[in-house]
Amino acid sequence: MKNTKNPGMFVIVQGTSLLKVASLFLLFMLMVFSISGLLTSLKPEYRPISSSVNQAATNVDGKLLYQIMGWENHHFLQIGKGMTASPKLTNLIFKLSTNINLNDPRSLLGRELPGFYQFDGQIVVAGEGTNYTNMPVESAPPAEIMKAEREASLQNLQELKPPTGDVLPPKNGQTTGSHKVVYLYFTHNRESYLPNLKGVTDPNLAYHSQYNVTKVGDEIKSRLLENGIGATVDKTDVMGALTRKGLKMPQAYQESSKVVQTAMTTNRDLQYFIDIHRDSRRKAQTTVTIDGKSYAKLAFVIGGKNPNYEKNLKLATDINNLLKKKFGNSLSRGIFIKRDIGDNGVYNQQLSSNAILIEFGGVDNTFEELDRSADALADVFSEFYWQAEKVNQDENQPANNQ
């Protein structure tokens, strides 16, 4: 009798293997629920926040992503010089897990030293003498100054120019007519300058409700009108509103945002929005002599927390390039991106792709120096504006049919 084998396939599964798989799955689920429960039970100040995730994500740049893709497709490595298929991940993993950049000690010190966050930020374009030790600083006035009814006496007011009217004949024959396309406003409208405050020497007290940074806006407007560009200066007392409402200085941008949005609604002609400030730095960092004349230095600040900040950055870069072309690398302190904890990081720039913040000088600058810088900015902005208008007209010009 002949034995035949069963041709069917038999799969033998050991019970111990199934038990191991089930145990690992249960252990994994237990860990997930345990970690979730732990995170939700923490106090709010100890929980992971979106800013931490965003800060970690900023460490992953496009070059690294291309390198990672290059592990599988080496074609991606051809887009840049010096790329290899083996990026160094050690420092990246450390930065992602701790938000500490080994190449920038500020990332650690900013969390440990009170007030050190003011040195956070990124220098996109550095002017002459600019480094991380002299970046623009926003300082809040003491509470008693905000609430004080009596202000410092004034001096040296003879250097102030009287405001001009709204209609001036343009020098170059170009004009926006009755359209006001530039909007100048002041989130910290009471920021003032020590040379005009009699008896005041403390830079933290350089504030005044009338004679302040708004005078810079008047000069910019006057110069823009001479170049045929309509502008409006909004002198809404934002800092006064903070006092009346019992709000703190960091909430000033929330108040000025309402002012800007109202202006955008009521005047559809507005295209550019410039928030003018005064830096807290001293004269050595905020003053430069050009052709024998003293100028207050300018600094461009871009809010990196604004998701569309690249467009605002391009505007600042274009204007800064024109300043450099005309005045060299010394009038502008540079372009700075601020997105870290302690900074506003948006500065109302989410409202328009043509919104920027400019610091005019510091607490020690005179209005004579400030007016020169205001004229310089207005002149290069006018050049930028009319160039942009020409490009727009050429693009909208219908092609000739041959």
Nearest to 247 by CA among 310, 187, 315, 167: 187
Domain formed by 143-393, architecture: 3-Layer(aba) Sandwich (3.40)
CA dihedral 359, 363, 369, 375 (to 10 degrees): 20
Name the token pair of 44. 């709010």
- Which pLDDT score, from 0 to 100, does residue 51 have? 47
| 3 state SS of 288 | strand
Q: For residue 161, what is the enclosing H or E element?
A: none
Q: Any idea which residue has 């507005």 for tokens?
A: 270
Q: Any idea what DSSP says for residue 191? A: B
Whole-structure pTM value: 0.72
Nearest to 339 by CA among 360, 362, 368, 312: 312
**Parts of the chain belonging to CATH 3.40.630.40:** 143-393
Q: For residue 367, what is the enclosing H or E element?
A: helix 367-396
- Which pLDDT score, from 0 to 100, does residue 116 have? 47
Instruction: List Cβ neighbours of 48 (8 Å cut-off, separation of 6 or more).
Output: 39
How does strand 293-296 pair with strand 287-290?
Answer: antiparallel
Q: For residue 109, what is the enclosing H or E element?
A: helix 106-112
Instruction: List Cβ neighbours of 100 (8 Å cut-off, separation of 6 or more).
Output: 94, 107, 108
Nearest to 264 by CA among 345, 352, 358: 352
Q: Any idea which residue has 């990026």 for tokens?
A: 87
- Which pLDDT score, from 0 to 100, does residue 402 have? 41
- Which pLDDT score, from 0 to 100, does residue 278 have? 96
Name the token pair of 398. 């219908």
- Which pLDDT score, from 0 to 100, does residue 153 have? 79
Q: Write out the chain's pLDDT in tens, 402 residues.
A: 555 555 555 555 566 777 877 788 888 888 877 776 766 665 544 445 444 555 555 555 566 666 667 666 666 666 555 555 555 556 656 555 555 555 555 555 555 554 544 555 788 888 888 887 788 887 777 766 666 656 777 777 777 777 666 666 677 778 999 999 999 999 999 999 999 999 899 998 999 988 999 999 999 999 999 999 999 999 999 999 998 998 888 899 999 999 999 999 999 999 999 999 999 999 999 999 999 999 999 999 999 888 889 999 999 999 999 999 999 999 999 999 987 655 678 999 999 999 999 999 999 999 999 999 999 999 999 999 999 988 877 776 665 544
Q: What is the CA radius of gyration of the chain?
A: 29
Q: Which amino acid is it at 203? A: P
Q: Are 383 and 223 in contact (CB under 8 A)?
A: no
